[in-house]
C-alpha cells in the first residue's frame, strides 16, 4: 500500500461508487479480459446492472472463476458488427459504456495488422456511432486508449497535451481510436472521455507473452523467465484495481461537459526496466536462482515510456493505492491459486 490512508480512502470511494452506480445499466466491451473482469466485479459490487459484449470466454478467466459471469447479461458478437452493438445498447438501455474491447497484443498486431485495425479502429467507430445514434440513452462513455498512442518521444513523461505520433501497428490502432473518440466528442457532443494507461498487470491476465504473467508462470514451474527484449526497455506498471478505480472515477465525472473529449493518463509515475521487474518477481517468489533468458528478439516496440498522472490526480482525485511490490504480491497469489485448482 502507498500509505495508511489508502484503505480509508477506498472505503469512502466504495460507498460513493455504490450510491452512484446502483441500478444503472452499464455496457462493458472487453469484459472477459484482465481489466474488464475486474471492472465488472467492481460494478456488480456497486449495484450496477452489467451487460457484457462477449466474443468468447476462457474458463480460467477471473470473470468465470469469480462467478461474476452468471451475474451479468451477455450479448454475443464482435465489435465489428454494428447491429450487435446497437442491440446491446438499445435493448438493455445502457446508460454508461466502458469500451475496453480490443486486440491488445503487440506481437499479434505486428503479425496480423488487418485484424488489429478491424477490432481497434472499426470497433471503436462502430460503438461510438451507436452511442451517437442512441444519445437519448447513453449519458457517459469511457474509451480505453494507451500510452502507446503517444508514440516514441524524446521527452518524458508523457502528458495529455502531447501529440499522438504512433508508428507501429498496435500503437497506431490506439492513436486512431483515441482520435476518433475525441472527434465524436467535439463534433457530435457524445459524452466520451479517454483513458491512457501504461502496462496493466494483475491476476487474470492469461496472455503469457506479457512480462508479468509470463514471468510468474515460468517461476512457478521453476523455469527461467523469458525476456523478449534486451531487458533495458522501461515502462509504467499499474495494478489492475487502480486501473478500475480510474475508470469509475472518470465515468462518474462525465456529468461535467468540459471533460468530454478529454484524455487522462493514469500511472504510479515510476519507470521500471524489464529486468528490474523480473528481479522483483524473483525476489517476491523466492526464485532468485533462476536467471532470466534474455533473447533480445522484440521488434516494433517503443524503448522507453513513462506517464504523468498529474491531471488525473488534480481533476479526478485519483491516486494509486498499490505500489509495485504490493500489486505484484497480490498478482502472484492469484496465479498460485490458479495452479492449485
Query: Residues with catalytic annotation?
Result: 170
Answer yes or no: are the C-beta atoms of 330 and 205 closer than 8 Å: no
CA–CA separation, 132 and 71 (whole Å): 28
- Cβ proximity of 102 and 126 under 8 Å: no
User: 77: which residues sit within 8 A by CB, 6+ positions away?
Assistant: 53, 54, 55, 84, 85, 87, 88
Q: CA 263, 268, 274, 278: dihedral to nearest 10 degrees?
A: -140
Output DSSP code: residue 288: T
C-alpha cell belonging to residue 259: 471533460
Residue in the structure block whose three cell numbers are 490502432: 173
User: Dihedral (C-alpha) 28, 31, 37, 42: value to the nearest 10 degrees?
Assistant: 10
Amino acid at each position: 500500500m502507498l500509505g495508511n490512508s489508502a484503505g480509508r480512502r477506498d472505503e469512502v470511494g466504495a460507498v460513493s461508487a455504490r450510491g452512484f452506480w446502483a441500478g444503472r445499466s452499464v455496457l462493458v466491451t472487453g469484459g472477459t479480459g484482465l481489466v474488464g473482469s475486474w471492472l465488472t466485479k467492481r460494478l456488480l459490487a456497486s449495484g450496477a446492472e452489467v451487460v457484457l459484449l462477449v466474443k468468447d470466454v476462457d474458463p480460467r478467466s477471473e470473470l468465470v472463476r469469480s462467478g461474476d459471469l452468471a451475474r451479468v447479461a451477455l450479448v454475443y458478437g464482435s465489435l465489428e458488427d454494428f447491429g450487435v452493438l446497437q442491440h446491446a445498447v438499445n435493448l438493455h438501455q445502457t446508460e454508461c459504456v466502458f469500451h475496453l474491447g480490443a486486440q491488445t497484443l503487440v506481437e499479434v498486431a505486428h503479425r496480423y495488422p488487418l485484424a488489429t485495425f478491424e477490432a481497434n479502429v472499426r470497433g471503436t467507430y462502430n460503438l461510438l456511432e451507436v452511442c451517437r445514434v442512441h444519445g437519448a440513452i447513453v449519458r457517459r462513455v469511457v474509451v480505453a486508449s494507451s500510452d502507446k498512442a503517444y508514440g516514441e518521444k524524446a521527452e518524458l513523461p508523457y502528458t495529455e497535451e502531447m501529440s499522438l505520433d504512433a508508428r507501429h501497428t498496435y500503437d497506431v490502432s490506439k492513436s486512431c481510436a483515441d482520435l476518433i473518440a475525441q472527434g465524436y466528442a467535439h463534433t457530435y457532443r457524445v459524452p466520451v472521455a479517454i483513458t491512457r494507461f501504461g502496462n496493466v498487470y494483475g491476476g487474470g491476465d492469461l496472455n503469457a507473452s506479457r512480462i508479468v504473467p509470463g514471468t510468474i508462470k515460468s517461476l512457478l514451474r521453476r523455469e527461467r523467465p523469458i525476456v523478449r527484449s534486451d531487458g533495458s526497455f522501461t515502462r509504467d506498471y499499474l495494478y489492475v484495481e487502480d486501473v478500475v478505480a480510474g475508470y469509475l472515477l472518470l465515468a462518474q465525472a462525465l456529468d461535467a461537459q468540459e471533460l468530454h473529449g478529454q484524455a487522462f493518463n493514469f500511472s504510479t509515475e515510476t519507470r521500471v526496466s524489464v529486468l528490474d521487474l523480473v528481479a522483483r518477481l524473483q525476489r517476491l517468489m523466492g526464485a532468485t536462482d533462476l536467471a532470466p533468458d534474455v533473447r533480445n528478439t522484440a521488434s516494433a516496440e517503443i524503448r522507453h515510456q513513462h506517464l504523468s498522472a498529474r491531471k488525473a490526480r488534480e481533476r479526478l482525485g485519483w491516486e494509486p493505492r498499490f505500489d509495485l511490490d504490493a500489486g505484484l504480491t497480490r498478482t502472484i497469489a492469484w496465479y498460485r491459486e490458479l495452479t492449485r485448482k
